[in-house]
């Protein structure tokens, strides 16, 4: 990881893959990841960790299933640019963006982008734990 400032817009300009996070830096045992998203991701949950979202550009919807089984209630939160939201551990959720968005996520290193519980993973979803950010992305001058 770099010990120089990282300009997020420059880092986002280095890739076009959707739902394929890039690791910008690490803080203790946590990854700071950025991603470009459009359309729907998969329903998933993280059993052992919360998931932090910050919308850098665009708008992100996060559908949530709260409760168990047949009594689970669904709701959707909409995050405009600059908004943050934390999905609590164990809550099933599905991020989506009809117009596209750029997001920053903060989660433990090794956390799968499709969570711990999911049925099938569409072929367009990159199931890695994030890719290293390529190149140098210092502060814009």
pLDDT, tens digit (0-9, with 9 covering 90-100), for 59-115: 999 999 987 767 789 999 999 999 999 999 999 999 999 999 999 999 999 888 777
Q: How far apart are CA 90 and CA 18, in angstroms?
A: 24
List, in order of start, the domains of the chain with CATH numbers: 23-118 (2.60.120.10)
Question: Does the pLDDT value for residue 124 go beyond 60?
Answer: yes
State the pLDDT confidence band at 141, using cuts at 50, 70 and 90: very low
The whole model's pTM is what? 0.87
Question: Does the pLDDT value for residue 123 go beyond 90?
Answer: no
Residue 21 in tokens: 């996070």
């Amino acid at each position: 990881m770099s010990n120089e400032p990282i300009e997020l817009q420059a880092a986002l300009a280095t890739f076009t893959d959707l739902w394929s996070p890039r690791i910008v830096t690490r803080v203790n045992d946590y990854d700071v990841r950025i991603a470009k998203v459009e359309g729907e991701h998969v329903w998933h949950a993280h059993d052992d960790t919360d998931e932090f979202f910050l919308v850098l550009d665009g708008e992100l919807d996060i559908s949530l299933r709260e409760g168990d089984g047949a009594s689970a209630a669904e709701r959707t939160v909409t995050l405009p640019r600059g908004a943050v939201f934390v999905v609590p551990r164990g809550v099933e959720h599905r991020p989506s963006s009809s117009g596209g968005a750029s997001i920053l996520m903060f989660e433990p290193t090794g956390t799968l982008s499709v969570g711990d519980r999911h049925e099938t993973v569409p072929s367009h979803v990159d199931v890695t734990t994030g890719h290293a950010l390529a190149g140098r992305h210092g502060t814009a001058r």
